[in-house]
Structure 1
Amino acid sequence: MQAARLHEYTDDMSEALTVEDVEKPEISTSGQIIVEVEGAGWCQTDNHIIEGMWEPYAEQNLPMTLGHENAGSVVEVGDEVTTVEVGDSVICHPVRTCGQCRACRLGNDMYCENGAFSGLDTDGGFAEYLLTSERSAIKLDDIDPVDIAPHADAGITAYHASKKAVDELVPGNYCVLIGIGGLGHIGLQAVEAMSAARTIAVDIKDDALELAERLGADFTVNSGDENVADAITDITDGAGGTQVLDFVGADSTTNLAPDIVSPGGDHHIVGYGGHVHRPSQDLVDGEFSYQGNLVGTYTELQELIALVEQGEMHLTTTQYDLDEINKVAEKLERNEIEGRAVIRP
C-alpha cells in the first residue's frame, strides 16, 4: 500500500515525507481492526513531529507513517470485535488504549499507561490502511468520513479545552479565543454551542476574523492592527476574559495572560511551540492559571460527533491527494490553510 513516511527530522517541509510502498498492516490481536483511510487530517503537530519537536516526549522509531486524524471504512476486524463490523464508517480516536490501566478505568484515555498514538509513536493514517483498535473507533451515521476526519484530534482537542472553559463560564462573562484557525474555529463553535458567555475572537488575518463572525463571535480583534490587551479591556470594561483559549501558544500569546485574564480565570494553552515566561508574582497578583490541554477523551469525541450530527459544528476543510502531502506541510508552515487540510489516500 502507499504511505507517507518520515525518514528523518527536518525543517524543510518541501521534502518532509516520502510516499512509498509498504506492507499493508495485519491484525495481530483479537481487539484490533483495519480501516481503509478515506480522510486523514493534517495538523500543525505533524509539522512539529517532522521538525523533531516531539522526539524528547515520545519514542519514535523512524521511518514512521504520520497521520493521527483518521476516518474511513472498516475492512477487517479481530475475532472479539463486537461494536463495529466490516463496512462501517468510523472516526478513530488517535490513542489506542488498553482499557485496563487506572487512567483508562477513570475515563482519561489520553493518559493511558500502555497506549499507542497513531502517527506520533506508531504508524498512522497517511496511508491507504490504518491498524487501530476497536476501543478507538466510533461509528458514523450519515456523516462523510472525509469531512469529519480532523475532529479525531483537532476537534476533540479544541472541544476538550472548550468544555473545561465552559464549566467556568456564566452569562455575562467573556471568553477570549486566540487564533481562529484549524483548532480555533472548532473551539469557537463549541463555546457558542455550550455557553451563554460573550466571545471575543482574536487573529492576525481578516479572513479568519470574518470566519469567526460567521460562526457567531460577538467581537473580533485583529492583533496585527490593534493592541490586544487594550482592545479586550475596552470590550469588557476592564473585566477581562474569564476564560482564554489560546490556540496559538506562541510567546506573544501566552505573554498576554496577566493583561487579559480576569482575576481567578484561566489561560488555556492549546496550541504550542512557544514558552511561558511571566514572573510568578503575575500569577499571585491575578490569581489566574495557565492550563495545558492534551487531546481529549473517547467520550468527548462521542460528544463532539453528537454536536456535528445536531448541526452545531461545522468544519472548514480543503482536500488534497496523498502525493500532495509535502505541499500541504509547506502551506501550513506559511499559514496559508484556512480551517483544516484533509489528505485523501
Structure 2
Amino acid sequence: MRAARLHEYTDQMDEALTVEEVDAPTATAADDVVVEIEGAGWCQTDNHVVEGMWAEYVPQELPLTLGHENAGIVAETGENVTTVEEGQPVLCHPVMTCGTCRPCRQGEDMYCENVAFPGLTHDGGFAEYLRTNERAVVPLPDGVDPADIAPHADAGITAYHAVKKAVAELNPGDAAVVVGVGGLGHIGVQCLDAMSAADILALDPKQSARELATELGADRALDPTSDDVTAAIENRTDGTGAQQILDFVGSDETTALGPELAAAGGDHHVVGYGGHVHEPSQTLVDGELAYRGTLVGQYTELQELVALVERGDVELRTTRYDLAEINTVAEQLEHGEIDGRAVITP
C-alpha cells in the first residue's frame, strides 16, 4: 500500500514526508481493527512531529507513517471484535488504549498507561490502511462521509474537550474568548455556541477567519493586531473581563492574553501549543487566574461530538488533498494558508 513516511526530522515542510510502498497492516491481535482510510486530517501537530518536537515526549522510531485524525471503512477485524464489522464506516479515536489500567477504568483514555498513538508512536493514517483496536473506533451514523468527519478524531475532540471544561464555568451572559479561528478554533466556536449561552468573542488576524467565526456563531470577531481587544472585552463585560479564554494558538503572544482579558476566577485554556507561559506567580494568585492544558479528550466525548455533528450543530470546513500532495499541505499549514482543515484522501 502507499503511505507517507517520515524518515528524518526536518524544518523543511516541502520535503517532510516520502510517499512509498509498504506492507499493509493485518489484524494480528484479537481486538485489532484494520481500517481502509477514506480521510485523514493534517494537523499542526503533524508539523511538530516532522520538526522533532515530540521526540522527547513519546517514543518514536523512524521511519514513521504520520496521520492521527483518521476515518474510513472497516476492512478486517480480530477474532474477538464485536462492536464493528467489515464494511462499517468508523471514526478513530486518536489513541489505542488497554482498557485495564486505572486511568482507562476511570474513562481517561489519554492517560492510559499502555497507550499507543498512531501517527506519533505507531504508524498512522496517511496511508491506504491503518491498524487500530476495537476500543478506538466509533461507528458513524448513516449518511456521514468518513472523509468529511476525519479531523474530528483530534481537532474536533480536542476543541470539544476544552469547550466542555469551559462551559462548566460559563453562565448565561458571561463572555468567552476564542483565540484563533483555524482548524481547531472554528470547531470551538460552534461547540461553544451549541453548548452555552455565553457571549462569544473571536480573535484572529485573518479577515477570512473572522468572517468564518461570525458565520459559525461568534457574536463578534476582532483583529488582535489592530483592534483594542482589552477595551472591547471590558466594554462587552462591563469591566469584569472574560470568564473563559480558549487559546487555540498557544504562542507566547496568545498565552500572555490571560491576565489582560480574564475575569476574576477565569480560566485560560491552552489548546494549541508551541509557545510558553511567561507570567509571574502573583498573576495566578491575584484574581485566581488558572492556565489549563488540553490533551485531546475521552472516547465518550468523541461519541458526544459525533452526536452534535449528526444534529447539525457542528460542521467542519475542509479541503481535500491527494496523498501525493501531502508536503504541499504541510508547507501551506506552516504558513497559515489553510482555512479550516486539510484532509488527505489516500
Q: Distance in 1 between matches of 2:115 and 2:149?
A: 23
Q: Distance in 2 between matches of 1:233 and 1:204?
A: 20
Asked whether the 8 Å contact 2:30–2:78 carries over to 1, the reply is: yes
Where does residue 303 of structure 1 map in the other structure? 304
What SS is found at the alignment partner of 1:320?
strand
What SS is found at the alignment partner of 1:185?
helix
Q: Is 1:37 aligned to 2:37, yes or no?
A: yes
Q: Distance in 2 between matches of 1:277 and 1:227?
A: 22
Where does residue 313 of structure 1 map in the other structure? 314
Letter paired with 1:251: D
Q: Distance in 1 between matches of 2:204 and 2:11?
A: 25
Where does residue 269 of structure 1 map in the other structure? 270
Q: Distance in 1 between matches of 2:58 and 2:228?
A: 38
Where does residue 104 of structure 1 map in the other structure? 104
What SS is found at the alignment partner of 2:286?
helix
Q: Distance in 2 between matches of 1:172 and 1:2?
A: 51
Q: How does 1:251-266 map to 2 (within 5 A)?
A: 251-266=252-267
Q: Distance in 1 between matches of 2:272 and 2:236?
A: 24
Q: Give the deviation of 1:316 after TM superposition.
A: 0.3
Letter paired with 1:75: A
Q: Is 1:73 aligned to 2:73, yes or no?
A: yes
1:91-144 Cα distance to aligned partner (Å, 9 max, x none): 000100000000000000010000100101100000000000011001112200
Stretches of structure 1 lacking an aligned partner (at least 5 in a row): none
Alignment length (residue pairs): 345
Where does residue 186 of structure 2 map in the other structure? 185
Q: Distance in 2 between matches of 1:277 and 1:20?
A: 43
Letter paired with 1:232: I
Q: How does 1:195-234 map to 2 (within 5 A)?
A: 195-234=196-235
Where does residue 25 of structure 1 map in the other structure? 25
Q: Is 1:173 aligned to 2:204, yes or no?
A: no
Where does residue 161 of structure 1 map in the other structure? 162
Q: Distance in 1 between matches of 2:15 and 2:234?
A: 45
Q: Give the deviation of 1:232 after TM superposition.
A: 1.8
What SS is found at the alignment partner of 2:61?
coil
Q: Give the deviation of 1:230 after TM superposition.
A: 2.6
Q: Distance in 2 between matches of 1:167 and 1:305?
A: 20
Q: Distance in 2 between matches of 1:231 and 1:4?
A: 45
Q: Give the deviation of 1:42 after TM superposition.
A: 0.2
Where does residue 284 of structure 1 map in the other structure? 285
Q: Give the deviation of 1:189 after TM superposition.
A: 0.5
Letter paired with 1:265: G
Q: Give the deviation of 1:331 after TM superposition.
A: 0.3
Q: Give the deviation of 1:231 after TM superposition.
A: 2.5
Q: Distance in 1 between matches of 2:235 and 2:259?
A: 16
Moved more, 214-223 or 95-104: 214-223
Q: Distance in 2 between matches of 1:216 and 1:130?
A: 35
Q: Distance in 1 between matches of 2:93 and 2:37?
A: 13
Q: Distance in 2 between matches of 1:315 and 1:200?
A: 20
TM-score normalised per structure 2: 0.99
Q: Is 1:126 aligned to 2:126, yes or no?
A: yes
RMSD: 0.7
What SS is found at the alignment partner of 1:73?
strand
Q: Could you list the structure 1 runs, at least 4 aligned residues long, displaced by more than 6 angstroms after superposition.
A: none
What SS is found at the alignment partner of 2:79?
coil
Stretches of structure 2 lacking an aligned partner (at least 5 in a row): none
What SS is found at the alignment partner of 1:53?
coil
Letter paired with 2:100: Q
Letter paired with 2:161: H
Q: How does 1:75-94 map to 2 (within 5 A)?
A: 75-94=75-94
Q: Give the deviation of 1:161 after TM superposition.
A: 0.2
Q: Distance in 1 between matches of 2:28 and 2:262?
A: 50
Fraction of identical pairs, as percent: 64
Letter paired with 1:99: G
Q: Give the deviation of 1:235 after TM superposition.
A: 2.3
Q: Is 1:147 aligned to 2:148, yes or no?
A: yes
Q: Distance in 2 between matches of 1:254 and 1:305?
A: 30
1:9-49 Cα distance to aligned partner (Å, 9 max, x none): 00000100000000111222100010000000000000000
